[in-house]
Amino acid sequence: MRFSIAEENTALAEAAGDVLAKQAGAERIRAGWPGGPAESVDAVWRTLAGVGVTATLVPESGGGLGLDENALPPLMETLGRSGLPVPATETVAVGAPLLAAAGAPHLPAVLDGSALLTVSLCPGAPVPFAARAELIALSGDDELRLYTRDEVGIEPVGSVDGSRRLARVTPRTGAGLVLAEGPVAAAEARRRGVLATSALLVGLSERMLELTVDYVRERRQFGVPVGSFQAVKHALADVTLAVRFARPAVLAAGWTQAVGDPQAAVRTAMAKVLASDAARMAARTAIQCHGAMGYTTEYDLHLYAKRAWALASDWGGPSEHREFIARRLGLTGVADDVSEGA
């Protein structure tokens, strides 16, 4: 099956790309790490909100763009390529649509970027961006609930990607606003989160590949560019192939979600497996081709590699999604459950 991106989805991704090209260099990624001037990252996020990024999946009646899940792959790929440390998946794909459906009064502040929103659908796990967010949506007791910062306890924790600002969040008893109830709503929200994260990984993979190709063209050894060595060419070709296999899988997952296809859960899980594998390969190969410089925090490549390692495991790692696909194909004896949908 061939996929082409609709004009309105392309336009949104291009508008976001224009903003990021002007405002989101490597210094912005570093600003998101602990001790950095995070307000500069927030300024870029507000600009992105101004072109409609945060409102992508929110209905027009709620002040949004009224687009569907087909808009997520091109937009998130663009955001992933930039490496900007913002809760893109948590806000655009999951949180904002939930707030809109629930009629939450906090929605306007989320849409204009003045309130940072994050989400976690894995009870007890550290929540990305919770160390900075004003609004936090969590799952628990068969419901999704929204909390303000003063309704929870927050304990920052370390992460391979410090710009994700992880924290353990403990809600106060009886606090929060119910956004959705039941396993179906949670499964749908999680599928959108998995889809968006898969697209971010594709964008990150492209960026690491781009940085590496530029490097091996310039770096010389034995009087010739290292990119002329067959081993380097083959390694980068393998990454290119992995990314090219992942991208259409992500597009397919977006389409199945948008049309309500019964195979949406499996297609989304497949997208996450391929995107995670491609990103890990891209990070490993890029660091090898850079002579391991990507491990040093002073070098820009490590910013993208660490994000890829973190996101490859976020919203379910490859092994978890492979197991889910195996169950759906009847390859194990584990019973299916709608709450486990990808």
Q: Compute the mean pLDDT over every residue in the chain, rounded to the nearest whole number.
A: 92
Per-residue pLDDT tens digits for 110-132: 999 999 999 999 999 999 999 99
Mapping DSSP to helix (H, G, I), strand (E, B) and coil, where does residue 291 land?
A: coil
Question: How does residue 220 score in pLDDT terms, banded at 50, 70 and 90?
Answer: low
Position 30, amino acid: R
Whether 205 and 59 share a structural domain:
no
* CATH for 249: 1.20.140.10
The parent domain of residue 134 ranges over 7-181
Distance between CA atoms of residues 257 and 54, nearest Å = 19
Domain final residue, candidates 181, 197, 226: 181
- Torsions phi, psi for 147 (to 5 deg): -125, 145
* CATH for 96: 1.10.540.10
- Quote the number of domains for the chain: 2
Per-residue pLDDT tens digits for 187-204: 999 999 999 999 999 999
Per-residue pLDDT tens digits for 2-21: 667 889 999 999 999 999 99
Whether 150 and 211 share a structural domain:
no
Enter the pTM of the model. 0.94
Q: Is the pLDDT of residue 167 over 50?
A: yes
Residue 1 lies in a domain: no
Distance between CA atoms of residues 84 and 274, nearest Å = 22
Residues contacting residue 69 through CB under 8 Å, at least 6 positions apart: 57, 192, 195, 254, 255, 257, 258
Q: Is the pLDDT of residue 216 over 80?
A: yes
Nearest to 205 by CA among 151, 241, 168, 170: 241
Whether 75 and 154 share a structural domain:
yes
